[in-house]
Amino acid sequence: MSLRLREMTRTGGLQLVCLVISVGFFALPLIYLALQAFKTNNEFLNDPTGLPHSWTMSNFSDAWTEGDFSSEMVNSLLYAIVPDVITLILGVFLAFPISRGWFKHSNALYGFFVFSGFLPAGLIPLFIEAQKIGTYNSRIGYLIMTSLTGAGFFFFVGYIKTIPREMDEAAALDGCGYIRYIFTMIIPQMKPALATFGIFGFVAGWNNLILPLVMLNDQSLWPVTRGLFSFFGQYSSQWPLVSAATIIVALPILAVFAILQRNLVEGVAGGAAAGSRGVNTAQPVENNE
Amino acid sequence: MSTIPFGTKRTRRWLPWASIAVPTIGWLVFGLFPSVSTVFFSFTEYSGFPGTPLHFCGLCNYHNAFNSSWTDFSTSVTVTLKYVAGVTILQITIGLGLALLLRHRRRGFGFYRALIFMPQVFSVTIVGVLFSLVFDPQNGPAEPMYHGLFGSTSAFLGDQTWALWLVIMINVWMFAGYTMLVYIAALRRIPPELYEAASLDGAGRFRTFRHITWPLLANATTVNVFLTAMGCVGEFALIRVLTDGHYGTKTLGMYMFDTAFGVNPSLGYGSMLAVAQFLITLVIGSVLLFFLRRREVTL
C-alpha cells in the first residue's frame, strides 16, 4: 500500500512538474498578453500585472480598425495559400521524374538542388532583381517570388520512390497521360507528405516578416505580421491596444495549430527520423539502371 | 537510366524535362541566381537607389571590413558567434531535458508537448511583441520580479549586458519544442531491453543515461545541433523585432539587413556581409559535422 502511495505521489509530482513547465513557461506569457488586451490603458498603467477589472472589449475593435487588419488578413491568406499550393504541385512535378531516374543526370540535378540550399543568402540580389523585373512592391510579384523559390521537394523524392513503378507502367499502358497520372495517382498517394509540408508551408508563409519588410512598401499590400510590426512601432506605449492587435494576429494561426497540432507534432517527429537518416548517411539517390 | 513509360515515342524525350521546367526556372531565377550573385555584388559599390550607378570595386568591401569598419564588423562576428553558441547549447540542453521528461506516453503528456511546441507556429512579430511586453522596463511583469530578486532595476532588452542573452533565451523559448520532438522520436527508437539489462546490472539513473541513452542519441544530437546552429547563424528577424540590433545584439545578419535596407543603404557592403555570414556558416557547419559524426562512429 505504501508502495502504491509512493508511486502515486511520484506520478503526481511528475505531472505537476510537467504542467508547471509547459503552462508556466510556454502558455503563461501568452495568457498574460491576452489579459492586457481586456484592460483600459489607464487600468494597465495603474496595475500592469493585475487581472483586468472591467474586461473591456474596445481594444479589439480599435486595433482592428486602426491597424487595418481586415485587408491585411486577406493578404496574409493569399500570401500563405497561393505559394503553398503552387510550391507543392511544382514540387511533385519536379520530384517525380527525378525519383524515377528519367534523366541522364538526375542524381547530379538532385544533389545540385540540395547543395544550393547552403549557398549565401540572396536577399539583397533578390531585392535588386525584384526592382528590375517589376516584382517589387506588387502583390502578384510577391506571390511569384514566393511560389517559385520552390525548395522542400527533397522529401518528395524519397516518398515517390515508395510508390511502385509498376503503377506508372500499368497506367501508361492503359493510356493515362502524364499530367493526369500525377494529379489522379501520385498526388493522392502522397497525401500524408503533402499535408505535412502543406501545413508547414502555410505557417511559414503566414509568418514571414523579412520578405514583406523588404519587398512590400505599400501598406495595402502588407500581410498581418508586417502590419502588426508597424502597429507595434506606432502604438508602442499603449500596451492594451498592442496586445489586442497581437491576439488578433495570433488567433488564426493558434486555431490552425489547435486543429492540426497532432499532425504537426507527428510531422516533426517523422521528419526528424527522415532528417537524421539524411544527415548521417547522406546517400545519393538510388538510380535504377 | 530508365525510360519514361508515358507519352508517345516523340514526347518521351522531353516529357521529363517539361515536368521540371517551371520549378527549375523559378528556382534558378529566384533562388540560385540571387544566391550566387550575392558574391558578385560583394565586389561592387552600389547604394541601391534607382538611377545610381553600380561601380565595380574589387575587394573594397572586404578591405573596409578589416579597416574602416573593423569595429562594427568584428563586433557583429563576435555577437553572431555568441548567439550561435548560446542558442545551440541552451536549446540542446533544454530540448533534451524536456524530451527526457516527456518521452513516455502518459496522460496529459501530448498536451504538454503541444504547448511546448506551440511558440514555433507564431510569427517572430508575435513573439517579439509578447516578450517586449514581458520585458517592458516600466510595466512588464519581469521588472518587479527582477527588483524583488536583485533590488535594482534593469532595462532588459535595452540593457547592453542583458539584451543578447535575453534574445538568445527568447529564441530558445521559441524553438526548444522542435529539439524536444526530435529527441523524443529518437528516444522511442532505443530498445527497452537495454534499459532492462542496465537495471538488472544495477546501473543507476545517471549511469544509464551516460552509457545508454546519451550515446544512442548521437544521431539525433547531430541533427539537432546542426539544425540549430545552422538555423541561427543568419537569424535576425527576431532580433529586428526585439532590439533592432541595438544594445549589443547586432549579429551579422542584422548588420547586413541594416546596411542594405537601413538609412544609408549600401547593397555592396551588405552583400559582403552576407558572404561573410555564408563563410561562417560553412566553417561552423563543417566543424560540427566533422566532430559530431566522428562521435557517432566511435560508438
Q: What is the pLDDT of residues A254-283, one digit of tens each?
A: 998 998 888 777 777 666 555 444 333 333
H helices of chain A, where?
Answer: 2-19, 28-36, 41-46, 58-66, 69-100, 106-116, 123-133, 139-148, 154-161, 165-173, 178-181, 187-189, 191-207, 210-215, 224-234, 239-281
Nearest C-alpha neighbor of A265 from the set B113, B47, B45: B113
DSSP class per residue in B35-49: HHHHHHHTTEE----
Whether B171 shows a pLDDT value over 90: the answer reads yes
Nearest-CA distance A122 → chain B (Å): 4
Cα separation of B33 and A116, whole Å?
A: 10
pLDDT digits (tens, 9 = 90+) for A218-260: 999 999 999 999 999 999 889 999 999 999 999 999 998 998 8
CB contact under 8 A, A239 and B133: yes
Give the three-class secondary structure for B56: strand
B1: pLDDT confidence band, cut at 50, 70 and 90?
Answer: low
CB contact under 8 A, A94 and B20: yes
Instruction: Quote the percentage of chain B above a pLDDT of 70.
Output: 99
Domain map (residue ranges) of chain A: 67-275
Cα separation of B31 and B25, whole Å?
A: 9
Give the three-class secondary structure for B5: coil
Query: In which residue are the cell numbers 529564441 written?
Result: B171
- Report the predicted TM-score, pTM, of the whole model to 2 decimal places: 0.91
Residue A145: predicted pLDDT? 93
CB contact under 8 A, A225 and B34: no
Q: What is the CA radius of gyration of chain A?
A: 25
Residue from the list A33, A94, A124 with its beta carbon closest to the beta carbon of B130: A33
Domain map (residue ranges) of chain B: 70-298
Q: Give B68's contacts (C-beta < 8 A, 6+ positions apart).
A: none
> With contact defined as beta carbons under 8 Å apart, do B260 and B48 qualify?
yes
H helices of chain B, where?
Answer: 9-12, 15-27, 33-41, 60-66, 70-101, 109-117, 124-134, 142-150, 163-188, 192-200, 205-208, 214-216, 218-233, 237-242, 252-261, 267-297
B contacts of A96 (beta carbons < 8 Å): 19
Residue of A nearest to B120 (CA): A203
Q: Give B32's contacts (C-beta < 8 A, 6+ positions apart).
A: A116, A119
Nearest-CA distance B161 → chain A (Å): 23
Residue of B nearest to A259 (CA): B114
Nearest-CA distance A52 → chain B (Å): 14
> With contact defined as beta carbons under 8 Å apart, do B187 and B213 qualify?
yes
Nearest-CA distance B120 → chain A (Å): 9
CB contact under 8 A, B115 and A225: no
Rounded (10°) CA dihedral A126, A124, A122, A131? 0
pLDDT digits (tens, 9 = 90+) for A22-64: 999 999 999 999 999 999 988 898 888 888 888 889 999 999 9
**A233 to each of A48, A238, B21, B132, how far by Cα in Å?**
20, 10, 43, 11
Residue of B nearest to A93 (CA): B19
Residue of B nearest to A266 (CA): B181
Nearest-CA distance A27 → chain B (Å): 7
End-to-end CA distance of chain B: 38
CATH architecture of A67-275: Orthogonal Bundle (1.10)
Cα separation of A49 and B146, whole Å?
A: 14
Average pLDDT over chain B, rounded to whole?
A: 91
B contacts of A268 (beta carbons < 8 Å): 117, 178, 181-182, 185
B contacts of A49 (beta carbons < 8 Å): 141, 144
Cα separation of B270 and A124, whole Å?
A: 8
B70-298: CATH homologous superfamily? MetI-like (1.10.3720.10)
Q: What is the mean pLDDT of residues A72-78?
A: 95
Residue of B nearest to A240 (CA): B133
